[in-house]
Amino acid sequence: MRILGVDPGSTRIGYGLIEKGSELTLLKYGVLEMQTKTGIDRIHELSRAFKKLLITLAPDLAGIETLYFSKNQKTALQVAESRGVLLLGLIEYGVPVKEFRPGDVKIAVANYAMADKIAVAKMVKKILRVSELTGHDDASDALAIAITTAHARTWENI
């Protein structure tokens, strides 16, 4: 089963694809960066880029982080818009979606709800048995969401 984790942001969206077999295997990860920073053009750019990504990655299941309250209302609104575009893309592509709060992802991966991004990335590397993850932490966060989704799927089947 191919599981996609998505870390929504205002202009940078992290993604991570893993394979769930007898073990979890890293397939691909990265970041979609929007060149357009605000407005309808950003939403349209994100929609096009994410649909291309879904076609390329062909996930069977996806996990996405829920919106948490931000001190910056403008950023929170932009992340909410992005999240809506991402959810619609997954629905249109026919990918079942699981949603997780940031603290639940941190607990699932690092066993601590207040874990920082460094601790999360370290545990993602251990779980996926890779020595290095390069690029933005949005991608390692997305992989943590994918891992959480894989584990949640297992719990549901018990």
Q: What is the pLDDT of residues 62-76, one digit of tens each?
A: 999 998 766 667 778
Which stretch of 26-30, 32-36, 96-100 has the lowest confidence by average pLDDT? 32-36
Which stretch of 36-40, 119-123, 130-134, 143-147 has the lowest confidence by average pLDDT? 36-40
Distance CA 135, CA 44 (A): 24
pLDDT on residue 69: 63
pLDDT on residue 158: 34
**Residue partners of 86: CB distance under 8 A and separation at least 6:** 6, 8, 13, 46, 50, 64
- Report residue 113 as tokens: 């709800």
Selection from 16, 27, 38 nearest residue 142 by Cα: 16
CATH 3.30.420.10 describes domain 2-156: yes
Tell me the average pLDDT across 26-31. 98
Residue 94 backbone zone (phi > 0: left; psi -120 to 50: alpha; other: beta): left
Tell me the average pLDDT across 4-14. 95
Which stretch of 3-12, 15-24, 68-77, 131-140 has the lowest confidence by average pLDDT? 68-77
* Domain positions in the chain: 2-156
**Global pTM?**
0.93
CA angle 92, 65, 152 (to 5 degrees): 90
Distance CA 93, CA 90 (A): 5
Q: Which residues, in sequence order, are bridge partners of residue 31?
A: 14
> Element (H or E) spanning 71, and its range?
none
Q: Which residues are catalytic?
A: 7, 65, 138
